[in-house]
Chain A
Amino acid sequence: MPEWQADAIIISVRPHGEGNSIVSLLTADYGRHAGLVRGGASKKMRGTVQPGNRVQASWRARLSEQLGQMQLELTQAVPARFLDSPMRLAGVASICALLEGALPEREPHAGLYAGTDALLSLIAMDDDNTGWLEGYVRWELGLLHAAGYQLDLDRCAASGETTNLAYVSPKSGAAVSQNHAGQFANRLLPLPRFLGGVACPAHDWVAGLDLTGHFLAKRVFAAHNADIPAARRRLADMVETRYKQAVDNQEAVR
């Protein structure tokens, strides 16, 4: 009888019947894995089966291809620590929705699991509400890599230069230096400063989310004939609204 036990992060919960839930988890060794949690919709379990929570999971089925049953024990209620922070809640919702939509089931992703775990810790620790956004953009680059699409942001696709990088080609995902962008600059995506860009016109986090959002939509979700999740769009909108205002204010002061 196939079975396993592992530390996991809850990424989605769907009601099943009256009192049960189908819970999808991210684990290091078993990747995105779903299972039936009996009593998952009960009052006792409702706090445990929340997206973003860390749990100790044990899964068991008669045959490996079956959905199987899961038992979950709460290790840490992550989103409960920042229910009063809309941006951080939107971040966790986006992480869970992207993992649910982008990852194939039951493929091990040890690196992505470690990255997600670290990002959740960063979000939970960050009291100023926004410092984690850089980590979030890097995590989305990791998600793209895990889904099979790595961006080449270390050298210019045209000249091979490793300095003075400012843009990314929306087609190839390769960096382009400021000198070689020329007349195509307005068709390229700005490379944020924290990823090595030298001349980002927008706020770095807005540019970072635009960059990863473009490739997630084009390379990952379009391949599944799906749109980028609403939770990811909401996060990008919130960040843009907050930091576009900040950039506009700075320009007005200048």
Chain B
Amino acid sequence: MTKRLLMLAVVLAMVAAACGGEVAEETTTTTAADGGGQVATGGLLAEVQARGVLNCGVNNAVPGFGFVDSAGEFSGFDIDFCKAIAAAVFGDAGKVEYKPLTAQQRFTALQSGEIDVLIRNTTWTATRDGSEGATFLTTTFYDGQGMMVRSDSGFTEIEDMANTTICVLSGTTTELNLSDRFDASGTPFEPLSFDDNDLLRESFISGQCDGWTSDKSQLAGVRSTFPDSEGGPEALTILEETFSKEPLGPLVRDGDTQWADVVNWVVLATIQAEEFGITQGNVGNYSGDDTTIQKFLGQEILDSDGNPTTFDPGLGLATDFVVDVISAVGNYGEIYDRNVGPDTPLGLERGDNAQWRNGGLLYAPPYR
């Protein structure tokens, strides 16, 4: 009996070794080929067009940026850029499937191909660009981290907050900046990390934590919807100090440059449109003779031989995709004002997010 078992074991080991060796080589070659096909230029744009719907990774708990309203509709600054991409790709801003993701899930969702683009107030950092398999594109919102406290707490700066408990979303740059900022001034604190904004909010309301740190735009969003039973927005104060740079923008998977170009130029088109003064209202009936704008809008122009032609930068999109984008969501300024601008509950001034001519950081390369 024992002998037979021994024999069996030996045979098994041999088979396993043989299979193992063979398999390893085989898989490496086949998957390399597969992988190559997947990330080849042009792959995702064609795939999205064939699918007929854009999978957009978003936030669903930050008012003004990515939020589900009481009717179950997604709305916000980031959501509008999802719509803009869909408008550019399909000519229809409604063809978006929103995938709400937590901060911790977002990169995995992008890596695994569950989403085509991630627009979820994600900060561009070197580590994320380098080791998350993601490519960061044009920044849509220049943000910075801040601290929100109760107005009656008496805290006016970080140094006042010794031994406090600070609520923070886990898996965010915010979490890392928090440690850096408090350590820099030698202020002791206890972190309380949540992976979900709603539970964090509950904890903050109950007084379990003294401060809530996040990007200032997010804090403004949260503050604007603070329940009246707790004193409303006035009960909260966002401290003056901004203690980090948080450039937020869309991300795509590494390796597909055509898709990256598409997403990038949709964002840039909204910025360029504002610079040109093209709005949701006038984009359909531009009748000027500025060829730069005519090219931008994909209108017919005359080439050097006097023949009518339309300008195609070769992005793989329709020549008049800008018209689709702007008539769906408007230019950058309109998107900003509608979601987070001074007339919204968030009330954020343009600041760094103004056009370069107005002292901001928005600067679209020439569309030619």
Say if A and B assemble together.
no
Report which A residues bind B (CB closer than 8 A): none
